[in-house]
Amino acid sequence: MLKLVMFVAVAVILIGGVAYGLNRLVGVIDIVGKVSIPSNVEMIPSRIKVDLGTINGASGEIGYSDVARLFVRNSTKIIVRAEAIPDGSRQNISIAFSGTLRLEGQGKSYAINMPCLYSNTQCARILMLIPGYDTPLTIEKGEYRVSLEITWIAEGSGDLSITFSIQIYEAEQ
């Protein structure tokens, strides 16, 4: 029985080899391409530098309109985070910054309030969760203009260099 199985296996291999050997290559089709799947949320430009200039008043507000575009390909959730980069100096000046990030477009408008973005002193804020800042905010599919409003309150005198960033994340679904 083993001899019969071996004979059949050898016969199949030989017949397959002969059949394949009789084929003649007549052409080749090469398939090439690029796979580029954009992320669900994209901001263009992806990084913006906002210069507050010299602040010489105890309080104030400054606005920056249409600083970027936010493209949302499918309804999603976003959250905004602030990150302070300390400069190491401590002067006789206390300052606290707050802000509002606005997304406008597609007949919709979203405002994300951001209290205490940067502070080198105590900063009081409302005791509730703020959608988009403390918890994810759902935004609909579309293209949105990004605008920013910054407010501040300062006390004391002296010079202080500040650096902080506002980062926009797509929240986990």
Token pair in block for residue 78? 């976003």
Sheet architecture: strand order including 59-72:
41-44, 59-72, 142-156, 93-105, 108-119
Query: Model confidence over 47-62: pLDDT tens digits?
Result: 988 888 888 889 999 9
pLDDT score, position 106: 85
Distance, CA of 32 to CA of 1 (rounded, Å): 50
Query: Model confidence over 12-26: pLDDT tens digits?
Result: 565 655 555 677 888
- HEC-encoded secondary structure of 56-108: CCCEEEEEEEEEEEEEECCCEEEEEEEEECCCCCCCCEEEEEEEEEEEEECCE
Query: Strands 108-119, 93-105: parallel, antiparallel or unpaired by DSSP?
Result: antiparallel
pLDDT score, position 109: 96
Per this entry, what is the length of the chain? 173
pLDDT score, position 143: 96
Domain boundaries, the chain: 41-170
The rounded percent of the chain whose pLDDT value lies above 70 is 84
Q: Work out the average pLDDT over 38-49.
A: 89
Specify the fold of 41-170: Immunoglobulin-like (2.60.40)
Distance, CA of 123 to CA of 84 (rounded, Å): 14
**Would you give the distance in Å from CA 157 to the centre of its chain?**
37
Enter the pTM of the model.
0.75
> What residue has token string 């499918």?
74
